[in-house]
Amino acid sequence: MIMPAEKELRAVLARFAQARIEHDVLPTGRTSRALEDATYTLCVITGSRTAEQALRAADALLDQYTAGRAGLRREDETLAA
Contacts of 18 (CB under 8 A, 6+ apart): 38
pLDDT tens for each residue of 13-69: 999 999 999 999 999 999 999 999 999 999 999 999 999 999 999 999 999 999 988
Q: State the helix-helix crossing angle for 51-80 and 6-25, rounded to 10 degrees.
A: 140
Rounded Cα distance between 63 and 70, Å, is 11
3-state secondary structure 3-65: CCCHHHHHHHHHHHHHHHHHHHHCCCHHHHHHHHHHHHHHHHHHCCCCHHHHHHHHHHHHHHH
